Amino acid sequence: MGIYSFWIFDRHCNCIFDREWTLASNSASGTINSKQTEEDAKLLYGMIFSLRSITQKLSKGSVKNDIRSISTGKYRVHTYCTASGLWFVLLSDFKQQSYTQILQYIYSHIYVKYVSNNLLSPYDFAENESEMRGQGTRKITNRNFISVLESFLAPMVNQ
């Protein structure tokens, strides 16, 4: 299996989209925006946030040191942070080297087209102050975004 899950976090630490695949033989298996993954989302974002702050403190001068990939013995976490503070995160098997260009493509060609340019989609997914810092409940539910993302990632799930 190439890809295990895909996550999008907003600038308020809220998981605004998640997709997990459960069967390698069926790219339609798994869940989208499941309530069961809220704790996993908090743990994943916390790990990325902590490692990013450590790397920024360790980098000297004006050189920006950013996390693009985190590896363990069983899987690899690929990250892409946009200028607006969105985090695109992809969990894959350990063999995959880099999905940075894939995440950049998802942001620039799929997210921007179907979510950012959609006038009915909220600009900020946190409705009020109480939904800041990981307390938000709004998710991306745009059917066009989900179907295009699914068709784009489906061949990589079965690798």
Question: Residue 47 maps to which CATH number?
Answer: 3.30.450.70
Residues whose CB falls within 8 Å of the CB of residue 70, separated by 6 or more in sequence, listed in order: 47, 48, 51, 76, 77, 79
Residue range(s) defining the domain that contains residue 47: 3-157
Residues whose CB falls within 8 Å of the CB of residue 120, separated by 6 or more in sequence, listed in order: none
Instruction: Indicate whether 87 pLDDT > 90.
Output: yes
* Residue type for position 26: N
Stated as kind and residue range, the H or E segment containing 20 is: strand 15-20
Tokens for 89? 């995160």
SS3 string of 62-75? CCCCCCCEEECCCE
> Model-level pTM?
0.84
Instruction: Indicate whether 5 pLDDT > 80.
Output: yes
Spatial separation of the C-alpha atoms in residues 94 and 36, rounded to whole Å: 24
CB 129 within 8 A of CB 39: no
For the chain, how many structural domains are there in total? 1
User: Which pLDDT tens digit goes with each residue over 24-39?
Assistant: 555 566 777 776 677 8
Supply the DSSP symbol for 116. I
Supply the DSSP symbol for 23. B
How far lies 59's CA from each of 14, 55, 70, 79, 85, in Å?
27, 6, 17, 18, 20
From 24, 18, 30, 29, select the one nearest 3 (Cα to Cα): 24
- Between residues 82 and 134, the one the model is more confident about: 82
Please report, rounded to a whole number, the percentage of residues in the chain having pLDDT higher than 90: 26
